Amino acid sequence: MTDLIGENKQRVKKYLGLENVSVLAGAGTSWHLGAPVIRSIPEELKSICQTDIETYFEKDANPSFEDLMNCLQADRFIKEKKGESISEIDKSIKAMQKWLFDNCNTEKTTLNVTNNERLNKNRYHFHETFIKRLLQRPNNLKRVNLFTTNYDMAFDYALDNLGIHYINGFMGVHNRCFRPEVYDYDLYYPGQSVTGKVHRAEKVLKYYKIHGSLSWLATEPSVSNTYGIKEIPLNNEFKVGDDNELMVYPCVSKKSFTLDLPYSELFRQFSQTINQPQSVLFCVGYSFYDEHINDIIKQALSIPSFTLIIANFSQTKDPKSPIEELRKLNDKRIIIIDEADSNQSTFIGFIDNVMPDLYEEEENEVIATTLKKIYDKESALTKEQTVISEPAVTSQPIEVKEEKKKAKDHSDDDLPF
C-alpha cells in the first residue's frame, strides 16, 4: 500500500506541472467540517418545508435537496405563467434556503472529524494546505483554476486566511457585483528597475463556485449592478426575502437559473478551461452525480492530452456508480485513486499522503544531491590516499609534485569565479 501511495504521489506531482491545472472540489472537501450531506432531504428540513414532497415524488421517495429545489422552482415558474398563486412554493423555497444558510456556515458547524489535532486548532487547516500546495507551481505557468460545487465558504475563508488574491467573478469593495470580465484579468506589480518591467504576483488563483454560494444574492438589477447579482459578507443577520434570494444550485428546469448569469458564464468557464490542450482536472470529493458537470468532463475526454484524476472516498463500491462506470472504460487518462482507501481518497488523506509539497521535495532533493556530492568526493579522496600509500612505481619526488598539482587544482575549483 505504501508503494501505491508513493506512486500516486509521483503521478500527482507530474500532472501539477502541466500548463493547465484545474480542481473540482465537491461535498467531500467539506464533510470533515460538519457540512450537511444533502443527497437526501434531512428530516429536520422536511418538518419545516411547506410543500408535501409526495407532490413531486413517489411515496417514501428520498430525493436530494437539489432535486426538490428543482421541482419547486420549476413548479413556481409554471404557476407564474398560469397566473396561479405561488405563495406556498415561495415559503418552501425560502425555508429551504434559510436552512441551507444556517447549516452550511462552516464557522458554526460541528466537526465530523474530532481526533485531528491540526483540525481542532484550525478548522481550515487542510483547505489552507491544499491551496498552498497548488500555488507552489512555477509562476510562469497559467493560474490554477479552483471550481467547487459547494455553497459553503470553507475555501473562501481559507483563501482569506492565507492572504491569497482570488478572482471569483465579482468586482467592487462595498458593493460587490458580478462582472464576468474579471476572469480575464490578472495581477502584476511593477519592478524596481527603470526598464519598466512588471512581475507577476504569485499568490493568485481563479475561483469558481459553479453551484452558487451562501454569499450570493439575487437582487433587482440597477445601473451599478447590471445583472442584479451581488456578493455579501456572511453574517448572522441575513434573512431570505423577496428582494434577496440566495443564488444556490442552478435549476435544470428553469431558464433563468440555467441560461442566465452567473451560471451560464461559470459553466462556460469550466468547459473552456478543461478543454484546453495539456489539461488536467483533479476531482476531489466529487461523486459525479451532477449530469450537467459530467457532460462537460466527458466532452473534455475527447481531447487526447486531457487527464482526469479522481479522489473521492466511498466505503462501499457500487458497481453502477458514475465513478465505477468511468473505471470500466479502462482509459489510462482516467486515474482513480482507490475509493475505499481513506488514506488517499478522503480530502484529509489526499492532502496528507498524496498531494505533494513541492517546496519540501525540492529541499529534500537539494539535500540529497549535496550529500551525494560530499560523500562521492570523500570516497574519491579516500581512493587517492590509498593509491598514494601504495608502493610507487615512479620516484617519490615526482609523485609528491603531482599531488601538489592536484591540491592546487582542487583549491581553484572552490573559487567563485
Q: What is the pLDDT of residues 219-229, one digit of tens each?
A: 888 888 888 88
How large is the angle between the packed helices 358-389 and 2-16, nearest 10 degrees? 110
Which is more confidently placed, 115 or 387?
A: 115
pLDDT beyond 70 at 390: no
Count other C-beta atoms under 10 Å from residue 81's C-beta: 8
Q: Give the residue-averaged pLDDT of 237-242.
A: 56
Per the CB < 8 A criterion, the answer to whether 306 and 279 are in contact is yes
Whether residue 14 is predicted with pLDDT greater than 60 in this model: the reply is: yes
Residue 404 has pLDDT above 50, yes or no: no
Name the grid cell of 368: 540529497
On the question of pLDDT at 165 being above 90, the answer is yes
pLDDT band, residue 385 (cuts 50/70/90): low
C-alpha cell at 52: 408535501
The residue with greater pLDDT, 41 or 178, is: 178
- How large is the average pLDDT for residues 250-259? 48
Q: Indicate the pLDDT class of residue 397, thresholds 50, 70 and 90.
A: very low
- Which whole number is the average pLDDT over 387-405? 48
| Measured distance CA(52)–CA(89) in Å, rounded | 10
In this predicted model, what pLDDT tens digit does every residue of 98-137 receive, in sequence order?
888 888 888 889 999 999 999 999 999 999 999 999 999 9
Q: Please, are residues 217 and 244 in contact by the beta-carbon 8 Å criterion?
A: yes
Contact between 336 and 323 (Cβ < 8 Å): yes
Q: Which residue has the higher pLDDT, 44 or 272?
A: 272
Averaged confidence pLDDT in the chain:
82
Side-chain half-sphere of 210: how many Cα atoms within 13 Å?
23
CA pair distance 106, 365, nearest whole angstrom: 38
pLDDT, position 196: 67
Higher pLDDT, 211 or 64: 211
Higher per-residue confidence, 346 vs 388: 346
Which one-letter amino acid corresponds to residue 191? G
Say how far apart CA 6 and CA 167 lie, in whole Å: 33
- Residue 119 or 200, more confident: 119
Cell reading at 379: 570516497
Count other Cβ atoms within 10 Å, centred on residue 19: 14
pLDDT at 410: 45
The one-letter amino acid at 166 = Y
Non-local (6+) Cβ contacts of 132 within 8 A are 162
Q: How far apart are alpha carbons 412 and 408 in whole angstroms?
A: 6
Phi (first) and psi of residue 137, to 5 degrees: -65, 150
Residue with cell 488536467: 280
Q: What are the beta bridge partners of residue 167?
A: 206
Average pLDDT over residues 334-354: 91
pLDDT for 192 equals 65
Task: Compare 291 and 147 and report the one with higher pLDDT.
Answer: 147
What pLDDT shows up at residue 345?
A: 92
Res. 384: pLDDT tops 70: no
> Which residues, at least 6 apart from 212, have a Cβ–Cβ distance to it below 8 Å?
151, 246, 247, 248, 249, 250, 262, 263
**In the predicted model, is pLDDT for residue 348 greater than 90?**
yes
Mean pLDDT value of segment 180-196: 80
396 pLDDT above the threshold of 70: no
Global confidence as pTM: 0.81
Per-residue pLDDT at 197 exceeds 90? no
Contact 234, 215 (CB under 8 A): yes
What DSSP line would sit under 86-99, residue for residue? -HHHHHHHHHHHHH
Mean pLDDT, rounded, for 249-270: 68
CA atoms within 13 A on the CB side of 368: 6
d(CA 92, CA 45): 10
Instruction: Transcribe 97-144 into DSSP letters.
Output: HHHHHHHS-TTTSPPS--S-HHHHH-TTHHHHHHHHHHTTS-TTSPPP
